[in-house]
Amino acid sequence: MKKILTILSFMFITILIGCQEDVRFAEVLELIPDTYEENLELPTQHKDQDLTYKIHDQVIEDSILVYQFSYDDLNLELTIIIDGVHEVKKSIINKASRAVSNLYIETNDGSIIDSKKDYKTSTISISSDHGFSQDDLTARVRGRGNSTWFVYPKKPYRIKFDERTSLLGMASAKDYVLLAEFGDKSLLRNFVGHKLSDLTGVSYTLDYRYVNLYINHQYEGLYMLTEQVEIDKNRLNIDESETSNAFFLELEDWTRIESGDEENYEYIVFRNRALLVESPALRDIEDDHTRLFRANQIKSYLTGMYQSFKTNQYTNYIDEESFINYFIVQEITKNVDINFSSVFMYKDHNEPLKMGPLWDFDISLGNGDYYDYLPERFYATQNFIFNELIKNQVFKQKYIARFKEVIEAYQEPIQQEIDLMYERLRVEALKNFRKWDIMDTYWWPNTRPMMDATTHEEQVNYLKTWLNERMQWIYENLDAL
């Protein structure tokens, strides 16, 4: 009998302790809100008990739950650790951000920004919500782009800060770009390219935000604010030390090589094509022997890579998954620049070469009357590197298999993403087209179907229809690639 009473007492105490812990956990959970819309300071103590936190297994520094920019509500799992021992979990929602913020540029002398070369010192402010508003940031601003700068009245810009700065929750860096999206009357082609990059897992996807741009109090329209394509410790990060064999290249057409640029300084030549060397900065290497060594080191690597495509040793040179996902997105979008310009690739120290980031989708997805813009026929194979790689049957079969997976998985979701972004931008897009009344006007290189679409909604519907037909055609013809 004594034994039974002892057992019952133990059970009672255990239940009592369990109940007390349940009450304690419930009290702690009540301290945390169900949603948050800006940086949230979490309590560090409750009834003399220390509280620490993790979000998806990552320790939260200084007990500050950082608000993340997101076009949708984010459902997060917060782990609350009591006295470093007991854990209790709580679901918390990072509320969706405002889809379009206002970005203001005021040049110090009040003059217009009319040069691609000369920066104007300016003050930048942002009006947003969720704690992203900023005032009186000092920066320099200039024009950027090629045809987008010289042909279109709505101009793209580059922003440069002296110190790393975060805008609208983006990773802190010195350089940003404002894309005007003038030739793309849907305003969504770059969005689709970046979204496909993210969905398919391209090695590095650029971050972006939509903003209404005002320059010297004058409304300039709806823009996409995005990262400058560059190496930075907070963005695309590779080892740039002197002993590293890392590099970052951009395929560039010979017609765009700037006057004064020299081989083995600004660019290298590989298979009669110019590849801009973004990193390492060869021009900054004072010792000629070291500079030529680095230039030849890059060319030697590319030569070995190209030769490896004829064998099954190509994975010694390239990240196979990166190449597959990158060229899948380029093929889906039928990007005109695939063998011309804005084709980036990077190699970290002692790592294989990766493709990316993806960039510049203005002339793609059914826009571009000077090339085969229709949704049929393969196009990415025009790229001089991919054209050789796809001849390797091992790679080719993996590429085809992955391509089918991507279409099966994302053909419907990407349509839904376009619908969602259209709704988020709809009001601001109408404002943009009141400023730039271009729907009935031909602007290079608009196609016939784009000219037939006389409203923003019709432009978006054309984009969706073209993309759907494109993915369907590719799926049905992949085995004949």
**Residue 134 structure tokens:** 């900023």
Q: Is residue 135 part of a domain?
A: yes
Q: Tell me how far apart the alpha carbons of residues 288 and 266 are, in angstroms, rounded to a whole number.
A: 14
Per the structure, the complete domain to which residue 68 belongs is given by: 28-94
Same-domain pairing of 214 and 156: yes
pLDDT at 27 over 90: no
What is the residue-averaged pLDDT of the chain?
A: 94
Residue 52 sits in the same domain as residue 147: no
Is 80 found in the same domain as 124? Answer: no
Report the DSSP pairing between strands 208-215 and 100-107: parallel
Q: At what angle do helices 393-435 and 456-477 cross, to 10 degrees?
A: 170
Percent with pLDDT over 90 in the chain: 90
Q: Does 35 share its domain with 51? A: yes
Q: What average pLDDT does the segment 274-278 reach?
A: 98
- Report pLDDT digits (tens) over 318-346: 999 999 999 999 999 999 999 999 999 99
User: What's the pLDDT at 7?
Assistant: 53
- Residue 422's contacts (CB-CB under 8 Å, 6 or more residues apart) are 188, 429, 457, 460
Domain boundary among 227, 262, 291: 227
Q: Is residue 50 in some structural domain?
A: yes
Q: Does a structural domain hold residue 82? A: yes
Q: What pLDDT sits at residue 13?
A: 42
Residue 303 has pLDDT above 80, yes or no: yes
Nearest CA among 132, 144, 141, 218 for reference residue 180:
144
Task: Report helix, strand and coil shares of the chain as percent, to nearest 5.
Answer: 35, 25, 35
Mind listing the pLDDT tens digit for each residue in 430-463?
999 999 999 999 999 999 999 999 999 999 999 9
Tokens of 420: 């969602």
Confidence of residue 1 (pLDDT cuts 50, 70, 90): low
pLDDT exceeds cutoff 90 at 146: no
pLDDT at site 240: 95
Q: How far is CA 294 from CA 246, 268, 278, 287, in A?
A: 10, 11, 13, 11
Read off the pTM.
0.92
Tell me: do 149 and 211 sit in the same domain. yes
Taking residues 17-29, what's their average pLDDT? Answer: 62
pLDDT digits (tens, 9 = 90+) for 40-75: 999 999 888 999 999 988 999 999 999 999 999 999
pLDDT at position 28: 83
Are 116 and 208 members of one domain?
Answer: yes
DSSP, collapsed to helix, strand or coil, labels residue 330 as: helix
Could you report the per-residue pLDDT of 369-420, keeping only the tens digit for each?
999 999 999 999 999 999 999 999 999 999 999 999 999 999 999 999 999 9
**Number of domains forming the structure of the chain:** 2
Task: Establish if 355 belongs to a structural domain.
Answer: no
pLDDT of res. 48: 86
Distance between CA atoms of residues 471 and 226, nearest Å: 27
The verdict on residue 152 lying in a domain is: yes
* Residues 118 and 101: beta-carbon distance below 8 Å: no
Residues 173, 219, single domain; the answer is yes
Task: Using a pLDDT cut of 70, give the percent of the chain over it.
Answer: 95
Let me know whether 125 and 174 are in one domain. Answer: yes
CA separation for the pair 92, 76 (Å, rounded): 5
**Residue 124 shares a structural domain with residue 212:** yes
Check pLDDT > 90 for residue 424. yes
Q: Report pLDDT for 18.
A: 44
User: What is the Cα–Cα distance from 269 to 263, expressed in whole angstroms?
Assistant: 7
Query: What does the DSSP 8-state code read for residue 133?
Result: -
Q: Same domain, yes or no, for 130 and 155?
A: yes
> Is position 383 within any domain?
no
Q: Are residues 106 and 169 in the same domain?
A: yes
Instruction: Return d(Cα 418, Cα 172) in angstroms, integer.
Output: 28
CB-facing half-sphere around the CA of 47: CA atoms within 13 A: 8
Could you tell me the pLDDT band of residue 272, with boundaries at 50, 70 and 90? very high
Q: Which residues contact 193 (CB under 8 A, 6 or more apart)?
A: 329, 333, 335, 358, 361, 364, 365
